Every structure is written in C-alpha cells, then in structure tokens.
Amino acid sequence: MTREEYCTKINEAIEQIAFEGTFIDYKRYGSGHINDTFVTHHRLEDGSVIRYILQRMNHDTFKHPEQLMENVAGVTEFLKRKILQNKGDVKRETMNIIPTKDGKTFYKDSIGSYWRAYRFIEDASCYDMVEKSDDFYQSAIAFGRFQKLLADYPAETLHETIPDFHNTPVRVETLKKAVQEDTLGRVKEVTDEIAFVMEREEFTYTLMKLYKEGKLPLKVTHNDTKLNNIIIDNVTGKAICVIDLDTIMPGFSVNDFGDSIRFGATTGAEDEPDLTKVNFDLSLYELYTRGFLEGCNGSLTAAEIDMLPVGAKMMTLECGIRFLTDYLQGDIYFRIHHEKHNLDRTRTQFKLVSDMEKNWEAMVDVVNKYR
C-alpha cells in the first residue's frame, strides 16, 4: 500500500482525536522524509481558529508505534515537570500530545495506519537550512538544554524505536550486505564511495568500544538533531522547543551533537550535486560547540566532551553510509525526488567527512576552548 493510500483515512483520524472546536480543513505541512504531516484548522466558539499538527506515523519505519508513543509521552511529561520547575511555558517549550477521544496517545484507523496529533506552536518557525548563524547557535543551546533537562531521565526505560539506529558498525554491515546483493546493479557506479567507507571501517567502532568499556555513558538522545527539529520564536529569535521525538532512545550525547554538525556546519545543501559548493564550515562548528556546551551546562562527562569531534565525524560518515545503502537497495527508506538523489546525498556527506579529517586538530582545539 502506498503512502497516499495510507493517508486516505485522515478524516477518520480527525474524527477520533479530541481536538477543540469545529473542524474546518487540513493541508500538508513541512518537509519531513518519513511521516506524513498535516496542519488542521478548527473554529472555536468565539470565532477564532486554532491549528494542530496531525501526523500519520510511518509504521514501515517505526515497527512498534505504540512503543514510540510511550517514549514520546514519557519524555514530554517529564519535560513539562522540569519546565514548570524552571517557571517556563509548557505549551511552547515542549510538544503537547492531543489525546484521542478515548484517552489514548494515538489512533489506529480501519486500514492499519497510526495517527497522532500535537498542539501547534504559533508565532514560531522552523528552518531547513542555516540562514542566520544565530539560528544555528540557538539550536545548539536548545539541544544542549534538552540533554541537561533529561540528564536524570532513566534512559534504560525507553524503547529502541529503530534498533541499532546509530550503531555505526551495524550500518557498515548492512552496507556490505547491500553491496553483495547488488539487487539493482548499482555497485559498479559507486566503487569509490564503497572504498571510502571501508577505509574508515575501524573508526566506526570508536564510540561503541568506549561504551562497552564503561567509558561513555548511555543518555536519553534525540537522534535527529537537525536545525529543522527546533522551533524558534518569531519575536525573540530564541529557540523554544525541540520537536520530532520519534527517535528518542537511549544513545550517546556525542551523536546528537554530531548529527547537528553534519547537517548545519556546511556550506551546501544535503543533496547538493556540485561538491565544490559543499565544505565543512569550521566557524559554524565553533558556534555550535559553544552553544551546545552552554546548553548542557555541566551535564556531560569529560569523556563525552572529548568525543564531540568524533561524534561529528561519526554521524556524518554514518549518514552517508545510510544514503549509500538506500541507493543500492532501491531507495526504500529516504524519500527521493530523482533517481540519483540518495547518491548525491551520499557524496555530500563523504565530502564533509574528508573536510573534517583535514580540520581535525582545529576541531579538537575548539572543544577544548569551550569545555
């Protein structure tokens, strides 16, 4: 069944969720790759209109939506308590689940699609690219603060919504399998990219090895720390909320840091085909490092701080591996807009990895400057 067919039950879902007001209409919203996102409009008794975010969860990606929503509910309720302790605004500083009419956190429709809804945060924006350096800095503070607020949340109680999501050695093994199977005959055109990964295979074990040795702690991690998963207030310009909590899982804080760097500390788009336009931006890396450590405010161990540059390189390499694997498997995970879309994405990530390697000493110096 296609994504479009799964979305045919949207009106059924709207009817079953406890929205305020009278339903007016809905439209697609955002630029996410995985879930189908809509904004709905409802008219209140006083004539004003209220908006909500409605999503069809992709249960091909997230095999256990009920566990995913258990994670989201647990973390958001925990965050609300922390925000209240800090005299913050729980309606704007964390996601607020709108329950179904029978009190559940999601609705399963008559053809097996899973739906959930959140309060829409008004007078705020998300950005797909770093348009202003201060936005990137604000996202760093927000993701660092996210780590700080959740520092005493029992990470081991969270479900692993996507097994081995940021287990980079496992990602390498999956790539090897895709290369061996070569179902679409694409291996011959990506031999350089495959070699690039294999040359760095030993590096991919760095973080997992430290964890197994007890030197790197397991934390509550977001696992998709892109700029567009931060809500920025339109008036103050300050980051106010971390969104898209589907991949909240136990993980490494340095990977959350690293995913932001690979997405934001670059001069080109993630799918830029002209690699001369794609370069690692050391100044943005420094800006983000300063903001992230400011937001964490002492909640990281010395080993976590030491490994921040490794996290940046690891997440960039891993993301490239995932794009390359998907390309070889027939583009079954990431949404594409042309045949070589995932290959373009692969090459931008590997270009950034190469740039990071050339700037490695400078990256370490930046971390030591702000630790």
Per-residue pLDDT of the chain (371 residues; tens, 9 = 90+): 666 665 778 999 999 999 999 999 999 998 766 789 999 999 999 999 999 999 999 888 888 999 999 999 999 999 999 999 999 999 999 999 999 999 999 999 999 999 999 999 999 999 887 778 899 999 999 999 999 999 999 999 999 988 899 999 999 999 999 999 999 999 999 999 999 999 999 999 999 999 999 999 999 999 999 889 999 999 999 999 999 999 999 999 999 999 999 999 999 999 999 999 999 999 999 999 999 999 999 999 999 999 999 999 999 999 999 999 999 999 988 889 999 999 999 999 999 999 999 999 999 999 999 99
Instruction: Give the burial class of 234: count Cβ atoms within 10 A of its Cβ; 0-12 exposed, 13-18 middle, 19 or more buried.
Output: exposed
* Rg of the chain over all Cα atoms, to the nearest angstrom: 21
Q: With contact defined as beta carbons under 8 Å apart, do 329 and 179 qualify?
A: no
Q: What is the pLDDT of residue 6?
A: 59
Give me the residues paired with residue 324 across strands.
Answer: none
User: d(Cα 263, Cα 258) in Å, to the nearest integer?
Assistant: 9
Q: How far is CA 189 from CA 132, 182, 193, 242, 357, in A?
A: 37, 11, 9, 39, 25
Residues 6+ apart with CB under 8 A from 290: 137, 140, 370
Q: With contact defined as beta carbons under 8 Å apart, do 83 and 90 qualify?
A: yes
Q: What is the pLDDT of residue 370?
A: 97
User: d(Cα 152, Cα 51) in Å, to the nearest integer?
Assistant: 33
Give me the residues paired with residue 25 across strands.
Answer: 41
DSSP helix/strand/coil, 10: helix
Q: How far is CA 179 from CA 30, 214, 327, in A?
A: 33, 33, 10
Residues 6+ apart with CB under 8 A from 199: none
Q: What is the pLDDT of residue 219?
A: 95
Domains of the chain, CATH where assigned:
3-122 (3.30.200.20), 133-370 (3.90.1200.10)
Q: What is the pLDDT of residue 184?
A: 97
- The DSSP code sequence of 208-240 is HHHHHTT-S--EEE-S---GGGEEEETTT--EE
Residue with tokens 């090895």: 209
Q: What is the pLDDT of residue 3?
A: 65
Q: What is the pLDDT of residue 94?
A: 97
Global pTM value: 0.91
> Angle between the 133-149 and 253-264 helix axes, to the nearest 10 degrees?
170
Q: What is the pLDDT of residue 7?
A: 72
User: d(Cα 69, Cα 279) in Å, to the nearest integer?
Assistant: 37
